[in-house]
Chains A and B, each alone.
Chain A
């Protein structure tokens, strides 16, 4: 085929284009709704959540994944654009990791050492490792479908960040159910659960986000 002929057919294809940001919203929402339905029907919020909410540990455990979520979405979009600039958002993420580390240090300072182990292990580590990835699965699929419209230079990395985005959502949702409030627990088990989702995202992305 002549290049000029190809160009003519490309110009004739006037299918309207969805912006990447909008595609991410449309892709994520159905997955989010599925997870919310699962949450409402199967696990639900912990008892007396509203009364407990002012406690700094509980506030932190819910707000932290929300902050990661808010950062990972735009970061995924930057990674899906040729010549996108992920750096500012990477700095924000590093900042969030510093905040998490600080929360762990403060917890170690205020908590008597004989409680460290108890708080770190918590009641529900295994449930956490199952429920966070479970509630992240559908949002991850939707996110990857949206990013498929993009052009990621590094598909595996874009997939991992999609996993961070979906995993942080799952973690924020799970945080309203989970009875373990210590930053020691959050920093270990929530992170591990999100890392699982990120690994799945990286693996899926390295295949599905190639273009």
Chain B
């Protein structure tokens, strides 16, 4: 099953890179519970609540999204995914003034997905959303929280679809950039 995961994630991400957004959504959905298990495992020795775990999972998903171009299509996906996950987890803990020193290679590949818990929520991104420029915030909220498509959001906010796309991408990148600068401790 683990070997399958790599090839399945690989074909989903390749499809995503050639413009299949449904494949991309499926890829991220399959990633989320595995990342959750990964972060829980790394945080096992710290006293961390489930909201904190979910915040880190979301940061990792955001980083994977924004750094998609660093994956080479012929390379296996999961080592790439877990390297990003480890980097973001360590980074998130460092911002909270903690350190972990756990080798991941011996367990990451054999990690089973945690039970699917689609309603888990974090608080970190909401807090960052509040600091975005108004247009970016409204677009991200319309698409993420309300569940609008690009065209629905464009209609509601009386923007062109192109402007909605730009605002969405900039908004997501800005949220990620804030964490990279070490701001926004949870």
Given A14-B165, A15-B169: A9 and B140 interface contact (C-beta under 8 Å): yes
Q: What is the minimal beta-carbon distance from A1 to any residue of chain B, in angstroms? A: 5
Max chain B Cβ within 10 angstroms of own Cβ: one of A1, A4, A17, A20:
A1
A10 vs B165: C-alpha distance in the bound complex, in angstroms?
A: 11
Indicate if the CB atoms of B70 and A210 lie closer than 8 Å: no
Indicate if the CB atoms of A153 and B83 lie closer than 8 Å: yes
Given A7-B61, A10-B61, A11-B25: A210 and B149 interface contact (C-beta under 8 Å): no
Indicate if the CB atoms of B84 and A82 lie closer than 8 Å: yes
List residues of chain A with CB within 8 A of the CB of B96.
none
List residues of chain B with CB within 8 A of the CB of A83.
75, 79-80, 83
Interface residues of B in 83-99 (CB under 8 A from A): 83-84, 87
A7 vs B21: C-alpha distance in the bound complex, in angstroms?
A: 11
Tell me the nearest residue of chain B to A209, going by C-beta: B180
Chain A interface mostly helix, strand, loop or mixed?
loop
Tell me the nearest residue of chain B to A85, going by C-beta: B75
Chain B interface bracket (under 10, 10 to 19, 20 to 34, 35 or more):
35 or more
A153 vs B79: C-alpha distance in the bound complex, in angstroms?
A: 13
Taken residue by residue from 137 to 159, chain A's Cβ proximity to chain B (1 for < 8 Å, 0 otherwise) reads as: 00000000000011101000000
Interface residues of B in 118-164 (CB under 8 A from A): 118-122, 125-126, 129, 140, 143-145, 147, 149-150
Indicate if the CB atoms of A2 and B121 lie closer than 8 Å: yes
Partner of B150, one of A6, A12, A19, A150: A12
Summed over the interface, the residue pairs from A and B with CB atoms below 8 Å come to a total of: 119
Indicate if the CB atoms of B58 and A9 lie closer than 8 Å: no
List residues of chain B with CB within 8 A of the CB of A153.
83, 87
Q: What is the minimal beta-carbon distance from A46 to any residue of chain B, in angstroms? A: 42
Indicate if the CB atoms of B169 and A13 lie closer than 8 Å: yes
B52 at the interface (CB under 8 A from A): no
Taken residue by residue from 50 to 63, chain B's Cβ proximity to chain A (1 for < 8 Å, 0 otherwise) reads as: 00001001100111
A82 vs B120: C-alpha distance in the bound complex, in angstroms?
A: 27
> Could you list 28 examples of A-B contacts with CB < 8 Å?
A1-B121, A2-B119, A2-B120, A3-B32, A4-B29, A5-B144, A5-B145, A6-B61, A6-B62, A8-B143, A10-B61, A10-B62, A10-B65, A11-B21, A12-B168, A13-B172, A17-B69, A18-B69, A80-B70, A81-B72, A82-B70, A82-B79, A82-B80, A149-B67, A150-B69, A151-B67, A151-B70, A151-B87
Could you list which residues of chain B lie within 8 angstroms of chain A, going by C-beta atoms? Answer: 17, 19, 21-22, 24-25, 28-29, 32, 54, 57-58, 61-63, 65-72, 75, 79-80, 83-84, 87, 118-122, 125-126, 129, 140, 143-145, 147, 149-150, 165-166, 168-169, 172, 176, 180-181
Beyond A4-B119, A150-B67, A211-B63, 9 additional contacts (C-beta under 8 Å) are: A7-B25, A8-B147, A12-B149, A14-B165, A15-B169, A17-B68, A83-B80, A151-B70, A210-B180
